[in-house]
Every structure is written in C-alpha cells, then in structure tokens.
Structure 1
Amino acid sequence: MAAKRKLFEDVGAVAPVAATPGLIDGRRGARRGIRVWLVAIFLLVAMMIAVGGLTRLTDSGLSITEWKPVTGALPPLSETDWVAEFEKYQASPEFQLQNSQMGLEEFKSIFWWEWGHRQLGRVIGLVWALGFVGFLAARAIPAGWNGRLLGLGALGGLQGAIGWWMVKSGFVGENVDVESYRLATHLGLAFVILGLTAWYVFLLGRSETDLMQARRAAERKLVGLSTGLMHAAFLQILLGALVAGIDAGRGFPTWPDMNGQFFPADAFYVPGRPVWAAFFENPGLVQFMHRMAGYLVLAFGMVAWLRGRQSAHGATRGAFHGVMAMLVAQVALGIATVLTAAHMDVAITHQIGAVILWVLIIRARHLAMYPVAGSIREGTA
C-alpha cells in the first residue's frame, strides 16, 4: 500500500520525470552531421545540373551508346578501346546524319563530357549510400527522418534510369537528339532532388522544438504565394528543358519580338506529327511558351515580393528581396540567351541562374513557414 503524502509534498520534492523519446525533439540524432552530408549532396547535384547543361550544349550526350552502371565507370584505357567505342558511336544516327566528318580525336572530346556527367552521377549515389548506411548503422538519424533520407536515395536511383531512358531515345530511327519531353523529365527530377535536399538542409538547421514554435507564427498567405511561385518556376524550368531539347533558343535571336512577329509563324506545324506535338517539338511555339511563362513568373514573383517585404520578420523580408533580385537577373539572362542565339557561356549561366533562383524561392518559402524571430535591440526584427 502506498504511503500517505502530505498535501504540498509534491511541490519541489518529486524527482523530475525523464523525457519520453519521441516527444517534441525525440531522438535528435546527428542533425549537424547529416546536414553537412546533405549540403555535400546538394552541391554535387547542382554541379550535376551544370555539367548536364554543358553536355547538352556541346552535343555530347549521345557519345556513349550503352548504359553500364558499374563497368561503365572505367573509360577507354587503350587506343583499341577508343576505336571500339568510336565504332559504336559511328553506328548511331547522330554520327551518320550529323557528325559523319568527325574523327577520333573530336569524338574523345565529346566522350569525356558525357563520361564525366555519368561519373558524377555515380559519385552522388556513392556519397548518398555511404552517408545513409553510416548514419543508419550508428543509429544517428533523427526520429522521422529515415524515410525522407531513403526516399532521396530512391529518387537518385530513379534519376539514373530516367537518364538512360532519355539517352536511349537519341538512338531510335533518325533521331540526332534526345526527345525533348524526356529531357524535361530528366531535368525536372534533378530540380526536385535539389529542392528536397535544400528543404531538408533548412529543416535540419534548427531543432524540432524551434521549428514547432516557429510554425505557430507562420505567415499563411506568404506561404501560399511562395508555394505558387515555386510551382510556376518549376513549370518554367520544364519549358526551358523543352527549349534546350530542340535547340529552340537558336531559331529566334530577337527580343521582344520573334523575328519581327509577336507570335511565330507556323507555330502549330511539325512535319508528319499531330497538332498537339507542336507544344513539344515546334521551336517557335516552344520558345514562345517559355518567353510568356517567364513574364508570368516575373509578375507572380513581384506579387510575392510585395507581400514578403511587409513581413514582420527581417529574415523573411531579406529572403524575398533575394528572390526578387535573382528573378530580375534571371529574366535578363534569358533575354541575353535569346539575343546571343544560346551562346554556350550565356546559356549555361542562365541554367545556373535557374538553380540559384529555385533554391532562393524554397528558402523564402521555408522562412515564411518557419519564421525566425528577430530582435529590435539587435536590429534583426
């Protein structure tokens, strides 16, 4: 039978109850270490997007005609190996219809771009696998994060398969390029992986307790606007991939008109294809959609910025200022890309600009959802 207790005995006399795992922070795990690991993956994926863009701009993507995830990590090591690899390329439509004058030395230059692109993908997969298995074995993954981190790796594996699905389309019939909608799928998934990684980095930069408290002060309208801007920017990225896939950026090197017209002539015509195919394959129509979407994203971004600059939180205001500045710069880069007929340096800068803008939008959305309380005394309010 339990002993009787005095009326006020429990005040300051009862031993503190141990925190129950799973409440608020639960198993904190190695949040800082996992964050560093994810930052490394983020930088590698951003580099992968840039290298992929250069691979496309140098017409190197179809130089390797086979998909060998393991053995393909080794490049040709002898002259005999190089000749054998070149012979495989010579059987492709791209060589026969477009590059029939190419010699072995020229082939080597485009081979190295594609090999580097694929090798970087292998490095990303290895960094993810080593980190995930290591943190998992050490039981250092915070509660609720196993599925998120595993899902990131699964998306990376899917990206590799989609990459080959894209490249394979360039060896069918008389294709001398990969199909544009497959390129858009490949690039779109790369931005999804990059965006998720950035979001996880932002979340792991603060404790679960801090995030739960900050969520109560979330600016709902601003979250909605930034979410809409994120979706609009993603659509514009996909349209940009369609432009790159059919070299539509080189056909109308004038602005604000398109070779003297607002709407390009024969926009809905693609030889031997139905009308709907023009939205993916007609250079004029695809570039027109990309231009119009760019204007809409700029307008949407201005609305989000005007709302964001009224935020009560200094960090949030700063984040939306950054988005607006980069959005204007990205539009200017897009115009420069058009006027230079997609010159390599300008075009790749435009693609890198899309990466920067994408991450800035995600960061602004994060701060709208989880605002950082500032201090009037320190001037951070």
Structure 2
Amino acid sequence: MSETPNHAMSRPLALVRWLNAVAAMVVVIVAVGGITRLTESGLSITQWNPITGVLPPIGEAAWQAEFELYRKTPEYLYEAGPAGMTLADFKFIFFWEWFHRLIGRLIGLAYALPLAWFWIKGAIPQGYKPRLLALLALGALQGTFGWLMVRSGLSGQMTDVSHFWLSIHLLTAFFTLGGLVWTARDLQALAQDPAERPARLTGPSLIVALLLFAQLLLGAWVAGLNAGHAAYDWPFMNGEFFPQPDLSRGWIWALTHDPFLLHFLHRWWAWVAVGALIWLARRVRKEERKASIAIHSAFGVMVILGIATVLTGVSLWVAVAHQLTGALLVASVAWGMHADGRRKALRA
C-alpha cells in the first residue's frame, strides 16, 4: 500500500528552502576547503576538539602552545626549512583550517536543528524521514573523514595528508551536495503536485554520474599530490603531449600516485566527462531547460578555469574558483539527473 503525504501538516516548500540553504553552505565549504589545501593549512590544527575548538586560541600563551604542537608535525619538520616559520605565518594557516572546521560545525547545526524542528512539528512528508536522516549521517561521516584525513598527515614522514583520504573527504561532500539537491527537487515537485512520487535514477544518468565521478576523483588526487605543478603549459605537458610516467613500481602505483600521469589523465578524461554532460543536458532540455543551461554553464566555466589554473602556475584564486565551480557542477548535474528521472516517469 503506497504512502500518501499528509499535506495538512507537511511543509515541502519550507523544507526545499532549508535544503537549498544547506546545499549553498556545502558549496561554500568546498571552496574554503580548496583554500585550506592550496595554502597548506590543513595540518595547522593537530587536534580535534568538537566543543572547545570552536574558538581560536586566545592570548599569546595559547597561540604559542598551538604553534608548538604544529612544530612537531612532519610537515613543519621537513618543509619549514632553516628559516622556520613565524607566529604570524602560523596564524595565517591556522585561520583557514579553523574557518573550514567552523563552517563544518555551522552546517551541522543548520541541518540538524531545523530537521528536529520539522520532525517535531510533523512537517516532513511521509517517506522522507529516512532520507533526511541519511543526509544527516553523511554529514557526520564527512566530519569523521575530515579528521582521518588530517591525522594521516600527522605521523611518520608524511608532509601532506593522504590523497586517498582527501578524495574520500571531498567526494563525500559532493555526494552529500547531490543528495541535498535531489531531495529538494523531489520536495519541490511534491509541493506542486501532491500525487508526485520521488524521481528514480535512470541508466543514462548513472553512466554520466560514474564518468563524472572518475573525473572528480582524479581532480582530488591531483590536488592531494600537488600534481597541478607537474606542468604549466597546455595542451602539452612540459613540451610533450604524453608525459613519461614513473613505472618503476608498476602501472597500479603510477595510476594512483604518479603526479605526471594523474595530471595528464585529469586533463583529458575531462573531455569524456564533458561529452557525457552534454548528453545529459540534451536529454533534459525540454522538460527542465534551466537544468540544461546550468550543466552547460558549469562545465564550460570549469574547463576554462582548469586550463587557467595550469597556465597561471596554480594561482590560488584561480584554482579555488575551479574547485568552487566543481561543486556548482555537481549541484547542476544532480538537478539534471533528477529531471531525467522525472522525464522517464512522465513518458512511462
């Protein structure tokens, strides 16, 4: 027996506005995460204190204590050089990591507190509670992955976080963003038609998602390995089309660790992803023209910014804009995939 939403009490449009606001916050934290990575700020806070960590160090003694903890990390020991680092330099990188964590906490509150309020008020349509709880769990998992990523760079001789953990952290954020957008679109449709059912994932959309996932994974590995610095020319890499990969430890290692090969793959797999995105955009352009335009705009800007990132020698703000546009692309693709699901249902 199918569930019928209780529209006397449910408030789908209020939930849509809430989910869209949280999705916008996720886009912001992705951009700040890019700044944190590019300024090598991620290891500046060596502890995870969910409550006391809300406030930055207060007073000279507290700052010196934090700085002393950082000076024990492999990143400082192996990369600071003979001149070391000043306290002012440390405060700069500390700010970005602290700000990144603060936004994460704010997102948690911005999601959990309204969810509890909607739940208590009976404003959540039937069938949506499990999905909203799953998104809450994803947010908690995202925070856990973030700390595991940081911890990976605090031991041994690692001077950076593991690029594997970085990719898990980033892709979980993208998956959460997609889930927020998809759920908001389902609720938007429900508000317009009480008989509307949730959209289903189609085969073509799944193919597009997998091809885009591969590109985003490559991008995360490029960021984690600083592989953007492997070449500053385009379309060639250091004057050659195909770089000479380091195969001394085999192809598997090269495909997951070699900066030159990963940079090359990220450059050219992008065009495979673009082809898939054009296919998706064309599939939904009649039913959801705005989603089609959003997809085309996002990947077009992202490609331009990707090339500009290379040609500017990984300029901070160009690279951050590239990552920010990646988040907007994920949101637009989730919108398009949802539209594709509704398109199939309407034609069934």
For normalisation by structure 1, the TM-score amounts to 0.83
1:153 deviates by 0.9
User: Residue 370 of structure 1: SS of its match in structure 2?
Assistant: helix
> Relative to structure 2, which stretch is displaced further, 135-144 or 362-371?
362-371
Number of equivalenced pairs: 342
Match of 1:281 among 245, 252, 257: 257
SS of 1:76's equivalent?
coil
The aligned counterpart of 1:6 is: none
> Which one-letter code corresponds to 1:280 in the other structure?
T
CA shift for structure 1 position 155? 0.8
Matched, 1:159 2:135: no
| Equivalent residue in structure 1 for 2:156, among 154, 158, 173 | 173
Corresponding residue to 2:277 among 255, 276, 301: 301
How far did 1:92 drift? 0.6
Alignment deviations for residues 170-198 of structure 1 (CA, whole Å, 9 cap, x no partner): 11211111011110000000001111001
Closer/same/farther in 2, CA of residues 207 and 305 from structure 1, 3 Å limit: closer
After TM superposition, list the pairs within 5 Å mapping 1:80-91 onto structure 2.
80-91=61-72
**Correspondence 1:2-41 to 2 at 5 A:** 23-26=3-6, 29-41=10-22
Tell me which of 69, 94, 99 is aligned to 1:111.
94
TM-score of the pair, normalised by structure 2: 0.91
**Which structure has more helix as a fraction of its residues?**
2
Deviation of residue 90 (structure 1)?
0.5
Instruction: Name the counterpart of 1:235.
Output: 214
Taking the TM superposition and a 5 Å limit, the aligned residue runs for 1:118-267 are 118-207=101-190, 210=193, 223-267=202-246
Unpaired runs of at least 5, structure 1:
1-19, 373-381
Distance 2:194 2:270 in 1: 34
SS in 2 for 1:207: helix
Question: Distance in 1 between the 2:46 and 2:231 partners?
Answer: 32
- Matching of residue 370 in structure 1 with residue 342 in structure 2: yes
Contact kept? 2:284, 2:339, Cα under 8 Å: no
Distance in 2 (CA, whole Å) between partners of 1:306 and 1:226 is: 12
- Alpha-carbon distance in structure 2 between the residues aligned to 1:49 and 1:104: 27
How far apart are residue 305 of structure 1 and its match?
Answer: 3.9
Give distance in 2, aligned partners of 1:67 and 1:215: 38
1:46 is matched with which residue: 22, 27, 43?
A: 27
Aligned partners of 1:268 and 1:285 also within 8 Å: no
| Residues 210-244 of structure 1, C-alpha deviations (whole Å, 9 max, x = no match) | 3755889x9x9xx4333322222222111111000
Distance 1:128 1:302, change over 3 A: closer
Q: Deviations over 1:139-196 (max 9, x none)?
A: 2221111111111111111111110100011112111110111100000000011110
Q: Given the superposition, is the C-alpha separation of residues 76 and 209 from structure 1 closer, same or farther in structure 2, using an over 3 Å criterion?
A: closer
Pick 1 or 2: higher relative contact order, CA cutoff 8 A, min separation 6.
2
**1:30 Cα deviation from its structure 2 partner:** 1.9
Question: Counterpart of 1:145 in structure 2: which amino acid?
Answer: Y
Amino acid at match of 1:360: S
- The letter for the 2-side match of 1:172 is S
User: Which ranges in structure 2 are unaligned for 5 or more consecutive residues?
Assistant: none
Partners of 1:73 and 1:23 in 2: CA distance = 42
Partner of 1:332: 304
User: In 2, are the aligned partners of 1:214 and 1:371 still within 8 Å (CA)?
Assistant: no
Structure 1 residues 202 and 306, CA, compared in 2 at 3 Å: closer, same or farther?
Answer: closer
CA-based RMSD of the aligned residues comes to: 2.5
Separation of aligned partners in 2, 1:53 and 1:74: 22
Letter in 2 for 1:64: I
Query: Quick one: distance in 2 between partners of 1:33 and 1:364?
Result: 22
Rounded Cα–Cα distance in structure 2 between residues aligned with 1:214 and 1:144:
10
Distance 1:61 1:355, change over 3 A: same
Q: Deviations over 1:10-48 (max 9, x none)?
A: xxxxxxxxxx9x754345512122222212211111111
After superposition, the Cα gap between the structure-2 partners of 1:215 and 1:205, relative to the gap in structure 1 and judged at 3 Å, is closer
Helix, strand or coil at the partner of 1:171 = coil
Q: Is the 8 A contact 1:39 1:201 kept in 2?
A: yes
C-alpha distance in structure 1 between counterparts of 2:120 and 2:198, whole Å: 32
> Aligned AA for 1:344?
L
**Structure 1 residues 214 and 170, CA, compared in 2 at 3 Å: closer, same or farther?**
closer
Distance change >3 Å, CA 294–CA 267, structure 1 → 2: farther
Letter in 2 for 1:150: L
**Which residue pairs with 2:319 in the alignment?**
347
Call closer, same or farther: CA 1:148–1:242 in 2, change over 3 Å.
Answer: same
Aligned sequence identity (%): 39
Larger radius of gyration: 1
Q: Answer whether contact 1:24 1:208 (CA < 8 A) is retained.
A: no
After TM superposition, give the deviation of residue 120 of structure 1 in Å: 0.9
Query: Which residue pairs with 2:294 in the alignment?
Result: 322
Give 2:166's aligned amino acid: L
TM superposition shift of 1:298: 1.5
User: Are the aligned partners of 2:13 and 2:191 in contact in 1 as well (CA < 8 Å)?
Assistant: no
